Structure 1
Amino acid sequence: MHLKRILSAVVAIPLLWLFILKGGALLFTLLIMAVAVIALSEYYPLVDDTADRFDALPLLGYGSSLVMVALAHGMSNPWGALLGVVFLNIPLGGFFLLSRFETDPKVVKHLLTHIFGLLYIPMMLAAVMRLRLDPEHGVMWIFTLLVTVAACDTGAFYAGTFFGKRKLCPAVSPGKTVEGFMGGMAGALVAGFVMKALFVPELGWLACLLLFPLAGAVGPLGDLFESSLKRSSGIKDSGQLIPGHGGLLDRIDALLFAAPLFYFFMVLGA
């Protein structure tokens, strides 16, 4: 398992860096579109064990996610339009569900989980898009986000391994500890200060003291949230896309929660 994880990382990380550095905004948009569709395809079975990835409702979700990412790419202030796409899914999704009400009466449950999926995945990924499209420091914002999330994960792992005693949320993730959580915040803070000094100089030091510890806190919450979805459905991994790492949603769960925070600070010009 560890060898698979290492090999996957050795292949994926250089490709990702190359894609971000050399691919340009349009190719990055296509990458985020693919991530949104794949992550949604892993999300639906987590919230409904009877879900078919190619049923009408998931297909509507995939199409909507593509539109949402495209809007995030093409509009300077896309948030109203993105919410419009989400709201449009209420009557459209309701129509699909009501058409089969006799065989599956759980219309409200299916519709709510569908709408939440759009808010949880493509809406959060839209924040990643907007970070990349910053005209001066877009690439560096993406690097800073990814490095901070990775440093948080690394800090949490080692702090939890060597010092972990108090369980953080045993009902959801028995392996996570309070000490690991604090180590993740510390790792995010250290990595954030390094990235600020080297690549994002316009970010104020006071803002760093807020942004990076907060990112180190919300990232693990994203991990815990996805773990709760998996535990409630009895699924160990969201998928098998990445050998040794599980599904794509398993890899981006922390990023989905951290990206809007980074976007907020970028907009503030902190």
Structure 2
Amino acid sequence: MLIPRLLAALVLIPLVVIVLFFLPLNIFAAVIILVCGLAAWEWAQFLNIRQTNSRLIFAIIWVGALCAMYYGLSPIAFSKACQFALILSLVWWCIALVLVIAYPGSAKSWQKSTVTKVLFSIATLWPFFVGMIVLRMNAYEYNPYVGATSLLYVLVLAWAADSGAYFAGRLFGKHKLAPKVSPGKTWEGFIGGLITALIIAVLASIYLFNTVPFTKVMIGSFVAILVSVLGDLTESMFKREAGIKDSGHLIPGHGGVLDRIDSLTAAVPVFAALVFLIL
């Protein structure tokens, strides 16, 4: 399991850097739309949509809607849509926290409702797309690398929390974090991941974001780290209800696209909301 994870990381990390720093904004948006389309393809399983054609239609609808938003809306309408999506993200992840804590009892309120699970997909994937775009667009005309650096920072935080939790959990894990949702996760792993990511946050505050107040950097980073864990747990809850282990098999050692971006679907939009709407 570890070797495929490392090999996949060796391929994915340089690819992510290229997409972030070297693609024009419109092409970058197209790549993120494609990623969301693949995630929607996998999400269809949570809706009990198993037929290939039906899953493809669901993914195409997602791609079309995101293309219409990004390429079709006026700048003012696009800005308002982004603000709404980021606010929606803050609300949704508060709701998701309650659902995860109360699981499996909470599933009774949504497990048989296709409409509710479609709304869950909207509240998860749409703000993720918006968060990726608005962070990448930040100061783009002034310096195209400012937004790319900020976005990479959020990705690294989530990856550090995930990797730190993986290794700390394997070494020290004894007490289950959320046994009814994800039996493999432990409090020891959670603390190990939190410490790993916070070390990166402190270093970034000193050397990368030294013009931003330390308190603001740490608050935004800390919340993003915590909510990244919630994103992971929420997808695990949906997979458990759908009776699947991995959302897909596209990435060796990591499962599907949703398995790889589950923590990011929470961390990216929440961090963006904190940066642009609150802090």
- TM-score category by the smaller chain? 0.7 to 0.9
| Greater C-alpha radius of gyration | 1
Q: Which residue of structure 2 lines up, in the alignment, with residue 247 of structure 1? A: 256
1:69/1:125 contact within 8 Å kept = no
Aligned length: 245
Q: What amino acid sits opposite 1:7 in the alignment?
A: L
Question: Unpaired runs of 5+ in structure 2?
Answer: 87-111
Q: Does structure 1 residue 158 correspond to structure 2 residue 167?
A: yes
Distance 1:71 1:189, change over 3 A: farther
Amino acid at match of 2:32: I
Bigger CA drift: 38-47 or 199-208?
Answer: 199-208
Provide the rounded CA distance (Å) in 1 between the counterparts of 2:237 and 2:229.
Answer: 12
Deviations along 1:76-113, whole A, 9 cap, x unmatched? 44336869xxxxxxxxxxxxxxxxxxxxxxxx932332
TM-score with structure 2 length normalisation? 0.79
| Corresponding residue SS for 1:168 | strand
Asked if 2 retains the 8 angstrom alpha-carbon contact of 1:172 and 1:231, the reply is yes
Q: Distance in 2 between matches of 1:218 and 1:147?
A: 14
Tell whether the 8 Å contact from 1:223 to 1:254 is kept in structure 2 after alignment: yes
SS of equivalent to 2:211:
coil
Indicate the SS of the match to 2:56. coil
The aligned residue for residue 82 of structure 2 is 79
The structural deviation recorded for 1:49 is: 4.7
The higher-RCO structure (CA 8 Å, 6+ apart) is 2
- Within 2, Cα distance between the matches of 1:191 and 1:64? 36
Change (3 A) 1:184 1:6: closer
Q: What are the equivalent positions in structure 2 for 1:45-124 lying under 5 Å apart? A: 45-50=45-50, 52-55=54-57, 57-70=58-71, 75-79=78-82, 109-124=113-128
Contact 2:34–2:63 (Cα < 8 Å) also in 1: no
The farther-off stretch of 157-166 and 142-151 is 157-166
One-letter amino acid matched to 1:42: E
Q: 2:146 matched to 1:143?
A: no
The one-letter amino acid paired with 2:68 is: V
Task: Specify every segment of 5 or more residues in structure 1 that has no aligned partner in the other structure, as ranges.
Answer: 84-107
Aligned to 1:222: 231
Query: Percent identity among equivalent residues?
Result: 33
Change (3 A) 1:127 1:72: farther
> 1:4 & 1:48 partners in 2: Cα distance?
29
Q: Encode CA deviations 1:220-247: one digit per residue, 9 max, x unaligned.
A: 1100100111111111110111122110
Counterpart selection for 2:221 from 212, 222, 243: 212
Code of the aligned partner of 2:130: A
Deviation at 1:177, TM superposition (A): 0.9
Gap change, CA 1:26 and 1:200, over 3 Å in 2: farther
Cα contact 2:37–2:59 (8 A) shared by 1: no
Say whether residues 1:234 and 2:235 are aligned partners. no
* TM-aligned CA deviation for residue 170 of structure 1: 0.6
